[in-house]
Amino acid sequence: MSSPVVADAATEALAVLADRTYVVLTGAGMSTDSGIPDYRGPGSPQRRPMTYSEFVSGAEARQRYWARSHLGWSRMRRAEPNPGHRAVAALEAAGMVPLLITQNVDGLHEAAGSRAVCALHGRIADVVCLSCREQTSRAALHARLGALNPGWESRHRDVEVRPDGDVDLDDTAGFVVPDCLGCGGVLKPDVVFFGENVPKPRVERCYAAVDALDPSTQALLVLGSSLTVMSGFRFARRAARLGVPLVIVNRGATRADDLTPYRVDMGCSEFLTELSGGAGALTP
């Protein structure tokens, strides 16, 4: 049954959004219903993703990364959009969402039909050469990795998947990592690692969308993000400073809880199903 506190908070948040359009900002909690775990949700084990400086430190670090990521990608690429993703796409199609900012790299918003998307941290389905900057598909690299490392997937069927397409695996010795076919350079997933900066044009696009919000008719809706890292928190902070209503839907506390009275502790799919007019119940 629904908690009265959660139901009241959800009802209030829905009322705020009812007559507004809103920029949407999503985090890992948006994709948990698609089977992709998050880093900071309730019950999530502590994890330490590879940083950019580690990745570029040498071949051994990259071997460790790609050996794990090859396994994780095999599973992540099979993930399907959940009802929350589809609800956001429907809201965009209805003219309610001028921009969707996502911190996720899984591409599920696009798969659900969202088009006005700024993938703040890039997409795990893309690969970039750090030397020539040529971008290629992760699917093509996955095939190369499979050919160079026969049997790797079958020998590691039971490893635990992590949120960024990584897995929990310590022994990566012997895994063969290919170089760029064009120039022989280092290949990296075209996503923003910890320690890297989000490309400036993306940040500027998001700031511009938040700055353009009219406090009387629009809002910023945060879904499934603890806003722990600055890449997302700065937009919530900007909205609050501008007097734009900030609605946060997340399981667990967030860094911006003190910036808004509209804070709902519940799953994204349940809230969005209700927001988009579907037949969903408000369950905590």
Q: Do 113 and 171 contact (CB within 8 A), yes or no?
A: no
Helix residue ranges, H only, the chain: 4-18, 52-55, 59-76, 83-93, 108-112, 138-148, 152-155, 200-211, 230-241, 268-275
> Cβ contacts of residue 139 below 8 Å, gap of 6+?
77, 125
Q: Do 124 and 73 contact (CB within 8 A), yes or no?
A: yes
Q: How many CB atoms lie within 10 A of CB 279?
A: 6
Question: Of 70, 85, 109, 121, which one is the catalytic site residue?
Answer: 121
Sheet of 122-129: strand order equals 135-137, 122-129, 187-191
Residue 70 annotated in active site: no
Residues labelled as active-site residues? 121
